[in-house]
Amino acid sequence: MGAFLTLSTSAVVILLVICRGFCVDIIGGAEVAPHSRPFMALIQGKQGNVICGGALIKANWVLTAAHCNVEGAKVILGAHSQKAREREKQFFQIAKRISYQYYCPYSKENDIMLLQLQRRAKINKAVNVIALPTSDDDLKPGTICSVAGWGQTHNQPKTLSDTLREVNVTVISRQICNDNKHYKNQPVITDNMICAGAKNGGKDSCNGDSGGPLICKNMMRGITAFGKKNKCGTVDGPGIYTRLTKQYLHWIRKTIGGA
C-alpha cells in the first residue's frame, strides 16, 4: 500500500515518485451494489485517472487525505463505474482545498484535507452525505470496519478497479503495528492513526483508495492514508487510516461552518 494516488498505465512512474513508498485499492473485497454508498467521492485527474477517494460530509464539502494531489482534479459524486456514463453522476470543480495545518508527509501525521466544491451537490438516493462521528473514542483491536474505493485490486498487475469495491478489515493494536514484524516504527503508528487489515493478510485498501472513509459500526471513523509500497494485503503491512479524533472533528466543523 502507500500514499494512495493514481494508477493508470501512464501514471505508474508518477505514483512511485510521489508516494515515496507509501500509497492505497481494495484487496480481497467485492464490488458493492451500484450507488449503495452514496457518500463516496471519486477524485479524478485531468486524464481521467483515479487520484483518490473521499467522503461527502456536506453538500459542498468532501473529506479526503492531505497527501492526495488534487491540482487540476475534479470530484465525481454518484459514481459506481469510474469510466462508464452514469446518469447518477454529478461533476464538480474544486473551489478550495484545505489541508490540516500540521500535516507532515514524512511522519504521515495529520493526513486529512477538506475540499470545497464550487457548488452544492444535489442530494438524492445516489448522492448523500455521511455523518461525522459524535465521539472520538478509540477503536478496540478486533473491531470490524469496512473501506471502499476504486483502487488497485492486486499488487501485480497494478490494475485499478473500474467499479466501486469494498472490503472488511479488522482493527489491529498500534503496539502490534509498530513491532518489528510490521512497521518497525517507520513511521510510528500514533494515536492519530488506526491500523487495520487481516491476521493472515489478503484484505486491505491499496493504491488509489487514499482519502476514502473507514467505516466502523455504521460510522465514519477514519480516512484511508497509507501502507507499504507494493505490499497491499500482506501480513506485515496492514492499512493505516487517519483517525477522526476530537481535534480533527473540531477543525472540520470550524472550517466548513455554515458554508
- Which residues are catalytically annotated? 67, 111, 210
List the grid coordinates of 210.
487514499
Nearest to 144 by CA among 193, 183, 192, 198: 198
71 φ/ψ angles, rounded to the nearest 5 degrees? -60, 120
- By residue count, the chain amounts to 259
Provide the grid cell at 125. Answer: 438516493
Neighbours of 106 (CB within 10 A): 8
What's the helix, strand, coil split of the chain in %, to 5? 10, 35, 55
The alpha carbon dihedral of 93, 248, 246, 233 has a sign of positive
Q: What is the CA radius of gyration of the chain?
A: 16
Contact in structure between 148 and 40 (CB atoms under 8 Å): yes
